[in-house]
Chain A
């Protein structure tokens, strides 16, 4: 049985695709392309070009970078909330670095690290780590104080108190940080690819766009969009499992 949510979603997607097809045909297929053209150039990309391996490399680099960013952001965020000295010492850096557009520095990273995985990792990590860190920090600070009091009353202290009470209590915030981090990190990575002319998806997208090859350009864009959607949905699933009280409170 399909739920109401899914019925609406499917209708919405079908309507959009049909509308695009009709408008594309009516106006100009080269300029706006159509879903059918995009689909056939997607098939082309998959069979005729390095697109599949590029896609896998992109996913791999992102997965590695994002994992590092998550571990780093969560642990430093907790540490900053735990130790006042740490907060005072690091706060100016975090605030300054948080709003720096790292993609713009990608060419510099290339000079330092060469073109390829290392420079891409740095872009992903820097683009996503601070939003994860700040959310974790806020989560620990804004957590219901009664959780910690309860933990202490029942004999928890030190690291165990953090593992059993503080981290789960801050989890809703941490999850929000991760979700925002995925978006920032992924966009940062793709833009960096085109900026440093790394021969991958971002670069390929620009290449086709500049040649006015609309269909393959859009095919890549749609692929990346779906990838983003997939990651966000996966994270939501994790959140519902780990923080059921919160997801039901906000209605999924």
Chain B
């Protein structure tokens, strides 16, 4: 190595690495298994925002739970931030739930501190961290409110702050906007995207909404089939911020059509399988 020269840096580009993941559920009658995911592989790079899109019940939430470590795959390997995910102890990722999943007995602030308690942070540090993220998601003044006193949009802000607070390598968002009303949804999408870009977080969204996927992501993975696999990967070559102008551009509309085709061509896209939710 030349004196004063460049040290070899290991740039850890791949934040999430999903390798050959398969998962099946035992049928409710106990006879046999229903395969849900088969040989799913993809990577998400550092700072990238990826969306997994697919029809309802195709197994995309299951995939997200496997990445989070709260569900385990039958086979395959998950790596988040360079470490293999084997359980949800000391999670490297944080999840934002579709139904918020706030704990109703805790105030907004205590909900945000929740993950920090698991890490064993002393109260003073927890409070300081929580305050930072309360400000970030625009909940100043609502610290002492309980979830039932907050609107859906505000509850999801708490959910986002709770996830950000543990400073995860990756943030996983499971249809985070589908439980809030239309008007709130749009402003929340903007805000969440801004926060993710500001904090330079790597994020994986799960959604069944094509516009939402285009609006948010660098990359869209279409998941489909029974059992589901990654069928196609779309690079979203559109500039941020994705204002209305960008969203109605030739490129965006082309992508929208392609995504629609990809989703519709998915066999059994319309079929219902309650076991694979």
- Provided the pairs A149-B70, A150-B103 are in contact, do residues A155 and B89 lie with their beta carbons within 8 angstroms? yes
Contact across chains for B166 and A154 when beta carbons are under 8 A apart:
yes
Q: Which residues of A contact B162 (CB under 8 A)?
A: 154
A156 touches which one: B99, B101, B118, B147 (CB < 8 A)? Answer: B118
Q: Chain A: how many interface residues by the 8 Å CB criterion?
A: 23
Measured CA separation A244–B166 after assembly (Å): 26
Check B104 for interface membership: any CB of A closer than 8 A: yes
Instruction: Write the nearest CB–CB distance from A223 to chain B, whole angstroms.
Output: 36
Q: Are A153 and B90 in contact (CB under 8 A)?
A: no
Give CA–CA (A249, B149) in the complex, Å: 11
Q: How far is the CB of B156 from chain A (nearest CB, A)?
A: 14
- Complex Cα distance, B18 from A204, in Å, reads 76
Q: Which residue of A lies closest to B117 (CB)?
A: A164
Interface membership of B220, Cβ < 8 A: no
Q: Given known contacts A146-B101, A242-B105, A245-B104, is B148 in contact with A155 (CB within 8 Å)?
A: no
Say if the beta carbon of B132 comes within 8 Å of chain A: no
Closest partner residue, chain B, to A245 (CB atom): B104
Check B68 for interface membership: any CB of A closer than 8 A: yes
Q: Which residues of B contact A147 (CB under 8 A)?
A: 101, 103
Interface-central residue, A154, A160, A248, by most chain B CB under 10 Å: A154
How many chain B residues touch A (CB < 8 A): the figure is 26
Which residue of chain B has its CB nearest to the CB of A165? B103
Nearest CB in chain B to that of A242: its residue = B105
Residues of B within 8 A of A243 (CB): 105
Whether a CB of chain A sits under 8 angstroms from the CB of B88 is yes
The 8 A CB mask of B76-90 against A (1 = contact, 0 = none) is: 000000000001111
**Interface pair B104/A155, CB less than 8 Å apart:** no
B120 to chain A, nearest CB (A): 9
Pairwise interchain contact B97-A245, C-beta atoms closer than 8 A: no
| Cβ contacts A139-161/B at 8 Å (1 or 0 each) | 00000001101101111110010
Question: With the chains together, A246 CA to B91 CA distance in Å?
Answer: 30
Q: How far is the CA of A152 from the CA of B148 in the complex (A)?
A: 22
Contact with B along A154-190 (1 / 0, CB 8 A): 1111001000110011010000000000000000000
Residues of B within 8 A of A249 (CB): 148
Q: How far is the CB of B182 from chain A (nearest CB, A)?
A: 24
> Taking CB as reference atom, which chain B residue is nearest A158?
B89
Chain A residues, Cβ within 8 Å of B148:
245, 248-249
Interface residues of A (CB under 8 A from B): 146-147, 149-150, 152-157, 160, 164-165, 168-169, 171, 242-246, 248-249
What would 28 A/B residue contacts be, using CB atoms closer than 8 Å? Answer: A146-B97, A147-B103, A149-B70, A149-B101, A150-B101, A153-B68, A153-B70, A153-B88, A153-B95, A154-B88, A154-B91, A154-B166, A155-B88, A155-B89, A155-B90, A155-B91, A155-B166, A157-B89, A164-B118, A165-B103, A168-B103, A169-B103, A169-B105, A244-B105, A244-B146, A245-B104, A245-B105, A249-B148
> Which 6 A-B pairs have CB atoms at the shortest separation, nearest pair first?
A155-B118, A245-B104, A154-B115, A150-B101, A146-B101, A168-B105
Q: Which residues of B contact A (CB under 8 A)?
A: 68-70, 87-91, 94-95, 97, 99, 101, 103-105, 114-115, 117-119, 146-148, 162, 166
